[in-house]
Structure 1
Amino acid sequence: MLFNKLLASVTTAVLFSSLSAAAPWPSSVKHTTHRERDLASNLRLVTFHPESTFETFGVGIDHPLNKRASEDLEGAALSFVQSHLNLSDKDVNFKSGFSGEAAAHAYVRQQIDGVPVANAVANVAFNQAGKVVAFGSSFVKPTSVPSSKPTLTLEEAIAKAESALGGKFNEWPATLEFIAKEDGSVALTHVVQIQNDETGAWVEAFIDAHSGELVHITDFVTKASFFVLPITKETPPEGLELLTNPEDLSASPDGWNNDGTTSTTDTSGNNVISFKGSQTATTQESGAGPVFNFPPDFTTAPTTTQNVNTAHVNTFYIVNTIHDISYKYGFTEAAFNFQNNNFGLGGKGNDRVTVSVQDSAGTNNADFATPADGQSGRMRMFLWTFTNPQRDGALENDIVSHENTHGITNRLTGGGTGRCLQTTEAGGMGEGWSDAFAEWTEHKDATVPDYILGQFVENNSVGIRSHPYSTSTTVNPLNYASLQTLSEVHDIGEVWANLLHNVYAGLVAAHGFSATAHTDPTTTGGNTVFLHLFIDALSLQPCNPTFLTARDAWIQADVNRFGGANKCTLWQAFASRGLGVNAANHNNDATVPAGC
C-alpha cells in the first residue's frame, strides 16, 4: 500500500507511450499495457507489457491430445497452445503447472531460438474432464529479432544495472531472456536481480545483452500503504486476546513453531519469520508451550521492548493464519506458496515470508516484495507518525493482511513468477484484491457493513481510502468508468475492491454465512464460495489481467467449481458497478446475460 505519492524528476524513460493517438479508446487504455514507476531519486521508468488475450470455454473444449490415455499436463498444454496459436514445438516451452481441486493449470512461455521471451506467456486451464476451460496469452509476433548470442558479458550487464538502479546484484542466478518491446521488436537481455537495502527496492533488471541499455524491469515490491489481535478484528481497540493453538495442522502439519526441520521457540517457523533489524532479532517465547504472551502498552512508544514483542507476535500470527486459510483454499506448495519445507508436495521451498517490523526504511507505509517461487516474500511494516506516541502498522490487522495478500495474488497469477501484475491496471487490481481479502477475514456474520481500512494507524475513523467499501452508490460511487480518470494503482484498486465487496454481498445474500469458513472450505456459505472463486480465478486469469479478463476468470471459476450456479449473482454484482457484458475500454455497461 502506497500512502505517500512519490515525486521524482524525470530524467530517463525506458519506453515512450504511443497509445494516446489510438482513438476512440480513452488514454486509460495504457493501464492494460504500461506501468510507470519511480525507482530512484532521479529515475522514472515506463515499462511495456504485451496485452493479454483471454478466452473461457464454459464446460470445456477438446485439445489435440485429449484422446491419449498417456496425456499429461505438460503435453496437453503445449499441444493446445501450438494448435490454438498455430505454432511449432520450438516456439513454446513449459514453465510450470499444478492441479487444484477444480482445475489443472499450466503456464507456458514463448521462446525464440531456444531463449524464452520473458513477457510473452500463456496459461491454460483444464477441468476435471481434461477439457480446456480457459486460455490466456500475451505471445507476440516480433518485427525484428537480434542475435540470441550476447555481445555484452553478464558482468558488464550487472555493472550497468547496479549503476542505473542504485543497488547491488543479490547473487540470485541471472538468466538470458528476450523481452518484447512496444515498437514490436524484441531485445535479448541479461536478467539480474538488484536490491537496495536502504530503500527497500528489489527489482529484476533486463539489460540489453548487445547495447547495455536498461530496457525493462519487474518490480517485486508492492507498496501500501499469541497474545494477538484475532484476525477477525481490525484494530487494537477491539481487544487483543491470548489464543491457544490457533494453527491449522492440516495446512501447517508441523505447527507454526517449526522451521521445516527443527522446532523453534521464537517468532520463526516454516511459513514466516518476524523480526526487527536482523533475522536473529526475533521474540523468544515467554513461557513453555510455546507461549508468546506480551500485552502491549499503548501509552508508551511502540519501540519499547514489550511493544516490539507484541508486533513480532501479532505479525507472526497473522501471516501464519493467512497461510493456513489460503492453503485450505488452494494456495498450496504446488501452487507456489511461501514455505521453507514443501514436504515433497511440489513447488520450490526455502521461501517463507520474512516480516521486518518497525522497519527503519520508512514511515506511514508498508510493503511486500514477491519474487518468483523459491525466494522468500518480504514484508516490511513501518511506524506511523500521526499520533503521539506513534502507532505500529504491525498491530493493525487489515494492513498486515493487505500486504500478505500481495504475495498470494502475485504468485498465483502467471504461475509463480511474480511478473504478472506489472501493468497499471493489473497492479491496481492487486491493491484491490488485498483490501478485499483483508475485509473477508474480518466478517463475523451475514451482515455486510461498509468497510473502512486503516483507521487505527492514522487515528482517523474515515481510514486511508477515499470512500468506505459499500453496496451503496451514495456511500461509494466508484465504478468501472472511474478508471478513465484514475491513473494511480491504489486509486484503481479501490474500484476493484469495491466491486468485490459487492460480489461478496451478493454471494452472502444468496447462500448465507459460514462461521467456520476460515478452517473449513467445504461449507456452503456465501463467504466460503467467495474465497474459493477469489483464489481459483487468480490461477485462471492471464498475465497482467484487466478488470474485464479478471471478471471473466471469476465467471469461469464458478463453472469449474460450482457448475455455474452463481453465474447470475456474479454478473449482477459486476454489472451493478459498470462491469456488465458489454463493458469495454473503461466505459460502463449494466447488461447481464439473458436469463439473469
Structure 2
Amino acid sequence: MKINQLSKSVGIGVFFLFANLNAQSNEKIIRNFINTDVSFKNKSGADFKIQNEDKSGSLNAEIVNIQQYYNNTPIYKSLAKAVIRDGKVLSLNNNFRQIGNNSIIADKIDKTEALSTALRSVDIKDTGFELLDEKNGDLINLPDNQVASIRFYFERNNSLIPAQLFFINQTKENKFYGILVSLTDGEILEKNNMIDECKFEDNHFAGDTDSTSNHLLTHFNTSVTKKNQTKAATDASYNVFPFPVEAPTFGSRAIVTNPWDLTASPEGWHSNGTSNFSNTYGNNVLAYVDNNASNTAGFSPVSTTTGSLTFDFPFEESASLSAYDNRASAVTNLFYANNMIHDIMYKFGFTESTRNFQSNNFGKGGAGNDAVRAEAFDGSGYNNANFASGYEILNGNGSYTTQAPRMQMYLWNYSVPVKKRLFYTDPTLATRPTVNTGAANFGRPLMETGITGDIIIPSVASGCTALTAGSLTGKIAMVNTTGCGYNIKAKTVQDAGAIGMIVHRTTSNSVTDMNVSNVTNVSIPSIMIPKDEGDFITAELTAGRAVNVNLKDLAVGYKNSSFDNGVMIHEYGHGVSNRLTGQGYSCLTNLEQMGEGWSDFFALMLTNTPSYTATTGRGIATYSVNTAPTALGIRSYRYTTDMSANPFTYGDTNTTGGQPHAVGQIWATMLWDLHWKMAEKYGYNYDVTADPNSGSAKTLQLVMDGLKLQPCNPNFVSGRDAILQADQLAGGADNCLIWNVFARRGLGVNASAGTASSITDQVENFDVPEACILATEDIAKNKAFGIYPNPAKGEFFIKTAPTVGNTTVKVEILDLNGKLVKSLERKKNSSDSISTKGLTRGTYLVVITENGKSNAEKLIVE
C-alpha cells in the first residue's frame, strides 16, 4: 500500500517526517515535529508528557504514548501516539485538544465533596474513606477504605473543566470503579466499571475487574525464604493440563518441568528477585483459594519436595465427587496457566514497558508491583470468571499510581441434576434422601463453609410483612412462596435477625433458582426446597422437634474454571487489551469496543492443536458449561472461516445493543479468519512460540501490535486500521491479504463505524482498495500463474500450476512505456522470490513465457 493510502486508512492525525534526528531523545524529536508540522499550528498549548515508550522489536520502531497537559495538569483522554524509527517520526496519531481559545473553569467544590458524589453514584456508603493524593505514588493494593485519585482537565464545549478521577475499590461487594467527577458542580462526567464481569447465567462472558486486598503483596509471607542465589531459577515441575490442552475434556494432565521462558521470567516462576516462594506465588502470579470472597490470600499449595519444587496433586472429577477434592491441583493449574500466558504474551510484546503484570520489572520500565492475584474457588458466585486489569499511571512528578490486577475463577454448576445445599445435623435426619435445591442470585452465595442454625417458621409465613426485631436472631427462617418477591422475603427475615432463608415451594416438588435483578440490601444466603421436604420440616416443627441444618454447597459434580485454560486465557486477555490500549485503563469503554473479541481470539490461538483447520468449529468454555468439546459453548456461533456455519459480518454489530460479548464475538470472528488466511500463506503452527515466521505467530504479532497502535476507545474501523498500520510498519507484505479478510466480513474500505455514541449506525462494506483488486483479479482470471503480493514491496512471487519435471519459464518486467527493465529465467516450480529493488514506484507489466506462450499481468511496485 502506498503511504498516502495508509495515511487515509489510519485516519486524520497520521503524519510523516523524513528529517533524521537519531541523536535526539524521543521527547525532543516529538516536540520538534509538533513545532514544525502544519497540523499543529492551530493547536497552541499542545504540551505533553511521555507516559511510556515501547521499543517494539516486531515493528523495529519505538511506540511512544503521550498525554497532553495544560498548566501541569493532564487533559482527560487527550492522547497521542508516536511511532519513531531511526530518530524520525513515522506517524503521530493524536486527539489533542485546542487550548488557546478555551476558557478555564475554576474549582467550586473540593475533592472530598466530589468523592462523596462518586460513592453515592455507585451505591457505596460514604463513610470511613481516606482520600489519597495522586502525588504519593505507588498506591499499590489499596484497602477498601482508601481511594486513589488524579486531577484532570475535562474538555467540553471548548472549555476545560477541572475534574477528579477516583479509583474506588470495595472488595466486600466486588465493586471497582473509575469515576470522573466535575469539580465545578459535582457532575459525574464518566463512570467506568473496571471489572469485566462474565456472568454466564445471562449467557454472557465478560471479564470482571475488581481490585485488591489490604497490601496483599506484602502479606504473602508464608513459605517464603530470602534468597541470594546465582542460579537463574530453581527447578520446578507441575502436574497440569499443559498448553495447548484447553481443558480436561480436551486432553490429559501431564508433568511439565521448568516450563518458563527465562527472557520473560528471569527468575523462573517462584522468585521475584529478592524472595523465593515454595508455594504458588511468584513474580508474575500469586495463586490461592478465596472461597469466602474476602479477596485475601487463602490456601495455596506448597511444594511436596525441598530443593526442587514439585506440585503434583490428585485430580478426579465425576458427578458424585466434590470439586473441593481438587483444591491443590486446581490452584496449581491456575498458577501454571497464568504464568504461561505471561511468558507467551511477553514474547509478542506485552512487556514491562507496556505495563505488563509483574512484581519486579528488573529495571526494564513500567511500575512493577502488579503481579496477578489469581483466586480459585472464588466465593462471590458461580458460573463466572473475571479479570480486573488495574492500572499503572505515571504521575506528573514521575511517581506511579498502581493497582495490581486480579483474576477470579469460579465453580460452574451447569447441567448438574441434583444440587444439594440442605444438610441435617441430626444423624437420623441426615439419612434422608438427597433433595434438589434452588439458589438465589442475591445475598451471600453458599460455598463449602456455610451457615448452621435451627429452622424457624416466622409469624408471617410468607415473609412479606415486617417482623418483630430480634424474633429470628441466629435462626434460619423458612417461608412459603406466596405474597411478594423473594428478595423482599429475604430482607424481611434478615431485618428480624435471621442468618439465612429457606423458601418452601408448597405447590411443587420441582425447584427453581430465585433470580431478582439489582438487589443490594440482602446479605444472607437463601435456598429453595421442594414441597415434600418442606412439609416434612413443617411437621417436625409442629411436633415440637428442633430441626437444625447446615446450609452449604459442596459443589458435587461442579466444573472448575481453574482447569479451563481457554477461560483463563480469555480473562487474562482482558488485562492485555486494557493495558495496551491508550493510557492503559478506561480506554475500552465505548459501545463498539472489542475487548471480548480479543480475549476470545487469544483463547483460540493459545489452545490450537495440530489437527485443527480453518473450518474446524471452535466453541468457548465448553468444559466449564459441562458440554462436549465440539459444542457451541457460550457464543452464538462457533468460530470458523466457514460463513455458512458462522455468518457474522460487520453489519451484525447493529443488532447487539452494545452487549460486549455480542460485539466481541464478531470481531474475534474476523481475527480468526485473519489467522487462517495468514496460516495459508506462511504455514500453520499450533504453537505460536515455535516459529516466528509461521502464519500463526505472524497473526498474533499483528494483533498485539495493532492493540498498541490503536487509539483510546477504538471501534472496528480504527482497530482494523491499526492492524493495517502494524503490517505497513513491518514492511507491508500482507496489506491486501488483510484487506480481503476484513472486507469479506463487511469491514471493507468504505465501512463506517458511525458515531461513537451509537451502536446502531455502523455501515458495512465489502470493497477492498483498488490496488488489491488488481492483485486479486490477476490470480483469479488466469489459473496458469499469478503474482503476489501485489502491490509488492521489495519482492514478489510467481504462483503457478504445479508441473512434473524442471520446466523453465522466462520472466520479463516492462514499464508502462514497454521498456524492458528486468529479465530472468527460472524453474517453473521455484518458490524463490523476484526482487523489485531498483524499480521505482509505479505500475509494471510482468510477462511470463512458457513453451513460446506468453501471459502478462500487472504489477504495482511500492
- With normalisation by structure 1, the TM-score equals 0.84
Cα distance, 1:506 vs structure 2: 0.3
Q: How does 1:552-571 map to 2 (within 5 A)?
A: 552-561=721-730, 563-571=731-739
Q: Which residue of 2 aligns with 1:342?
A: 361
Taking a change above 3 Å as real, the CA distance of residues 128 and 384 of structure 1, as seen in their structure-2 partners, is farther
Q: Which residue of 1 aligns with 2:108?
A: 151
- Indicate yes or no: 2:608 matched with 1:443: yes
288, 297, 313: which is aligned to 1:294? 313
Q: Which residue of 2 aligns with 1:209?
A: 183
**SS at 2:88 equivalent:** coil
Q: Which residue of 1 aligns with 2:788?
A: none
Cα distance, 1:507 vs structure 2: 0.3
Taking a change above 3 Å as real, the CA distance of residues 130 and 571 of structure 1, as seen in their structure-2 partners, is same
**SS at 2:186 equivalent:** coil
Cα distance, 1:213 vs structure 2: 2.7
Contact 1:480-1:588 at 8 Å conserved across structures? yes
- Indicate yes or no: 2:483 matched with 1:314: no
Residues 575-594 of structure 1, C-alpha deviations (whole Å, 9 max, x = no match): 11011111124222221222
Cα distance, 1:301 vs structure 2: 5.1
Q: Which amino acid aligns with 1:178?
A: Y
Q: Which amino acid aligns with 1:534?
A: V
- Bigger drift between 474-483 and 293-302 goes to 293-302
Cα distance, 1:134 vs structure 2: 5.1
**SS at 1:545 equivalent:** coil
Distance 1:143 1:482 in 2: 42
Cα distance, 1:142 vs structure 2: 10
530, 533, 539: which is aligned to 2:708? 539
Q: Which residue of 1 aligns with 2:592?
A: 425
Contact 1:272-1:355 at 8 Å conserved across structures? yes
67, 71, 74: which is aligned to 2:24? 71
Cα distance, 1:515 vs structure 2: 5.5
**SS at 1:157 equivalent:** helix
242, 248, 251: which is aligned to 1:236? 248
Cα distance, 1:355 vs structure 2: 0.9
Contact 2:179-2:190 at 8 Å conserved across structures? yes
Q: Which amino acid aligns with 2:410?
A: F
Q: Which residue of 2 aligns with 1:505?
A: 676
124, 146, 169: which is aligned to 1:195? 169
Distance 2:100 2:635 in 1: 42
Contact 1:55-1:134 at 8 Å conserved across structures? no
Residues 8-27 of structure 1, C-alpha deviations (whole Å, 9 max, x = no match): xxxxxxxxxxxxxxxxxxxx
Q: Which residue of 1 aligns with 2:270?
A: 257
158, 174, 178: which is aligned to 2:149? 174
Q: Which amino acid aligns with 2:275?
A: T
**SS at 2:168 equivalent:** strand
Contact 1:122-1:543 at 8 Å conserved across structures? no
Contact 2:105-2:159 at 8 Å conserved across structures? no
Cα distance, 1:315 vs structure 2: 1.3
Contact 2:97-2:155 at 8 Å conserved across structures? no
Residues 96-141 of structure 1, C-alpha deviations (whole Å, 9 max, x = no match): 3222111211122233343211122221222356332352436467
Distance 1:134 1:443 in 2: 36
Residues 194-234 of structure 1, C-alpha deviations (whole Å, 9 max, x = no match): 11213322112212212223221233222222221112111
**SS at 2:66 equivalent:** strand
Q: Which amino acid aligns with 1:176?
A: R
- Indicate yes or no: 2:64 matched with 1:126: no
Contact 2:601-2:672 at 8 Å conserved across structures? yes
Q: Which residue of 1 aligns with 2:64?
A: 106
Contact 2:195-2:388 at 8 Å conserved across structures? yes
Taking a change above 3 Å as real, the CA distance of residues 495 and 430 of structure 1, as seen in their structure-2 partners, is same
Cα distance, 1:276 vs structure 2: 1.5
Residues 277-322 of structure 1, C-alpha deviations (whole Å, 9 max, x = no match): 2225322123332111123221355552x41212211111111001
Cα distance, 1:67 vs structure 2: 3.7
Q: Which residue of 2 aligns with 1:44?
A: none
**SS at 2:340 equivalent:** helix
Cα distance, 1:498 vs structure 2: 0.2
C-alpha RMSD of matched pairs (Å): 2.4
Taking a change above 3 Å as real, the CA distance of residues 565 and 323 of structure 1, as seen in their structure-2 partners, is same
Identity of aligned residues (%): 30
Cα distance, 1:177 vs structure 2: 0.7
- Bigger drift between 257-266 and 82-91 goes to 82-91
Judging by fraction of residues, say which structure has more helix.
1
Contact 2:45-2:100 at 8 Å conserved across structures? no
Taking a change above 3 Å as real, the CA distance of residues 472 and 350 of structure 1, as seen in their structure-2 partners, is same
- With normalisation by structure 2, the TM-score equals 0.59
- Indicate yes or no: 2:587 matched with 1:587: no
Taking a change above 3 Å as real, the CA distance of residues 90 and 515 of structure 1, as seen in their structure-2 partners, is closer
Q: How does 1:398-437 map to 2 (within 5 A)?
A: 398-415=566-583, 417-426=584-593, 429-437=594-602
Taking a change above 3 Å as real, the CA distance of residues 543 and 589 of structure 1, as seen in their structure-2 partners, is same
Cα distance, 1:354 vs structure 2: 0.9
Gaps of 5+ in 1: 1-51
Q: Which residue of 2 aligns with 1:19?
A: none
Contact 2:196-2:574 at 8 Å conserved across structures? yes
Distance 1:559 1:458 in 2: 41
Taking a change above 3 Å as real, the CA distance of residues 512 and 309 of structure 1, as seen in their structure-2 partners, is same
Contact 1:77-1:106 at 8 Å conserved across structures? no
680, 699, 709: which is aligned to 1:530? 699
Gaps of 5+ in 2: 1-8, 131-141, 199-204, 206-237, 291-295, 393-401, 417-556, 754-761, 776-862
Distance 2:409 2:158 in 1: 40
Q: Which residue of 2 aligns with 1:468?
A: 638
Structure of greater Rg: 2
Distance 2:681 2:12 in 1: 27
Instruction: Give the number of the structure with larger relative contact order, counting CA–CA contacts within 8 Å between residues 6 or more apart.
Output: 1
Contact 2:29-2:89 at 8 Å conserved across structures? no
Residues 337-383 of structure 1, C-alpha deviations (whole Å, 9 max, x = no match): 11000000111110011111121112211111112223211111111
Distance 1:469 1:55 in 2: 33
Distance 2:358 2:729 in 1: 28
Q: Which amino acid aligns with 1:214?
A: I
Cα distance, 1:456 vs structure 2: 1.0
Q: How does 1:220-231 map to 2 (within 5 A)?
A: 220-224=194-198, 225=205, 226-231=238-243
- Bigger drift between 396-405 and 122-131 goes to 122-131
Taking a change above 3 Å as real, the CA distance of residues 138 and 568 of structure 1, as seen in their structure-2 partners, is same
Taking a change above 3 Å as real, the CA distance of residues 390 and 180 of structure 1, as seen in their structure-2 partners, is farther
Distance 2:349 2:677 in 1: 23
Distance 1:340 1:363 in 2: 29
Taking a change above 3 Å as real, the CA distance of residues 564 and 128 of structure 1, as seen in their structure-2 partners, is farther
**SS at 2:28 equivalent:** helix
